[in-house]
A and B are shown apart, each in its own frame.
Chain A
Amino acid sequence: MMICRSKNRFCPALAAKTTILLSVVFFFALFAGDVAAQRRFSKNYPAGQNVKLQLLNRMGTVTVIGWNRAEINITADLEAPAAIIVPQNLSGTIVINLVRDNQGRNEVGSVNFTIRVPYTSMVDIETKIGNLSVSNIRSGLVRAHISSEGDITLTNIEANAVSAENTIGDILFDGEIMEGGNYRFSSTSGNINIRIPFNSSFRVVATAPSTRNISFGSCANQNMNYLSDGRRIVGKCGEGSATMNATNQRGTIKFISR
């Protein structure tokens, strides 16, 4: 092993040692920083079949998944500066309101939720910025609202009332149209895709004023009326027992058969 004795000469061995040492320090510092920046929240609630989840997030992704258990499992990854989360159980309704809980704080990091609920739960989720995803729900209500931008993905949904709204972002609904149900999809800029069984029965008003790009797929029939130069289509699929309203100011609306 070579040893550098002179103080004025460049010593490669010493430089290598110093580099390795600095790298190790830098790695641990980075890792420690990550640990400090990312916190995790987890909580479980026993729940009946008719429980309702009501969530208002500030920023981040929210994923709600229905499962076959009589409990609600909430997990959240909190980015720094970590938000305060105080869920409440108000007579069968689990309420999480990050706007209220963090009122007056100037900077609050994103919170990414993953929530598992009984599949018969009513789901009402909202965020200011971020994606919303709901899957495997069979209940009376599924509502997903994004104040600004983010994608909404609703898959395997059987609900009587479904509402999805955003400003910028895509909306995908993949589920059943229930008899007498009410379905509302609204976006300013994005694509609305509605994937439903070919034998679905509903009355529809679809409006895409800018693109006039409305595709009914297998639902297209002689009961469809093209209004205002094709900017709006009003019609009926099957007996029309449910009602659907889809509006996309600057994007497309597409019906796809399941």
Chain B
Amino acid sequence: MDNEIGADQASDVRMHLAFCTECAHVCEDLTSILDVCRSDSPAEIVPPNSQALWCRINNIIESEIKPVPVPVEESRGRFWRLSFVQLAGAVILIAVISSVVTVLAVRRYTQPPADDFTARSAATQTTFEKLLGRVGLTETPTQARLRQAKEREAAIDYWNARVQARRIQWDRTTREAFDRNLRVIEESVNDYTAILQQDPEDDLSGEMLDSVLNDKVNLLRDFSDL
């Protein structure tokens, strides 16, 4: 095309182009490009109304790009269009939720874990807890103690029934030892029960009663598998 190769080589190339369609297409493309480049007026290669062409290209590109959803702005005036009842309801709801969260947080903060040394008692209750107890939102230590005692009684009945079923198979030594130990525990239970009947606010006796009832459950359970 540029006459840069010799006649023999050019002859060979032409021969190849006569047979090879692919190379012939490439050659035609190159020839047409070179023709355009050699032309005198470059204006011929500038398309007419290039600005309109760019506009069309831009439109095509924008249509291919997925449009980003634009958040629709709520009109500011809508909130203020709530009725008075709705607003009052919302305020009450917020107040109730925040109160419940506060009560739970306070209880969690003030109540020691179960394995703490000192159990809960009226003396260790905070004023807020006492107030909640009086209005019936939480149970007082006395109520908690009574509830625990009932739970323990149920457990004692269960294990006692199992022990009674097993004890006929025990030897005399085991039976005597069991009875002796149960008697000691029951003496303590009776002592603390009597104290609490006289003074229901005696928290230490309440705690000790709970402890000996727990001991009684443990004794019954331990002997129920003999």
Contact = CB atoms under 8 A, between A and B. Distances in A.
Interface of A: 58-59, 99, 103, 106-107, 128-129, 147-149, 167-168, 188-189, 203, 205, 207, 209-210, 227-228, 231-232, 234, 243, 245, 247, 249-250
Interface residues on B, range: 20 to 34
Contacts of A203: 117
B204 A207 contact: yes
Nearest to B211: A247
Contact of A148 (B171, B177, B187): B177
Interface stretch (B47-55, B58-66, B70-78, B216-224): B216-224
Contact of A58 (B117, B187, B226): B226
The 3 A-B pairs of least Cβ separation, nearest first, read A147-B222, A228-B204, A148-B181
A249 B178 contact: no
Given A148-B219, A167-B219, A228-B202, 4 more contacts: A168-B180, A188-B188, A205-B117, A209-B205
Interface in B111-131: 117-118
Given A148-B177, A188-B212, A232 B204 contact: yes
B106 interface: no
Question: For chain B, what secondary structure do more than half of its interface residues adopt (helix, strand, loop), or is it mixed?
Answer: helix
A249 B226 contact: no
B225 interface: yes
A128 B224 CA distance: 11
Contact of B184 (A128, A188, A231, A247): A188
Contacts of A232: 204
B219 A243 contact: no
Contacts of A147: 181, 218-219, 222-223
Interface string B157-176: 00000000000011101100
B191 interface: yes
A203 B116 CA distance: 12
Nearest to B222: A147
A148 B178 CA distance: 7
B132 to A, nearest CB: 25
A149 B174 contact: no
A129 B173 contact: yes
Interface in B176-216: 177-178, 180-181, 184-185, 187-188, 191-192, 202-205, 208, 211-212, 215
B167 to A, nearest CB: 11
A111 to B, nearest CB: 13
B204 A231 contact: yes
Contacts of A234: 117-118
19 contacts: A58-B226, A99-B225, A99-B226, A128-B174, A147-B218, A148-B180, A148-B181, A148-B223, A167-B185, A168-B180, A188-B181, A189-B184, A209-B205, A210-B191, A228-B204, A249-B211, A249-B212, A250-B187, A250-B188
Contacts of A243: 117
A126 to B, nearest CB: 9
A103 B204 CA distance: 40
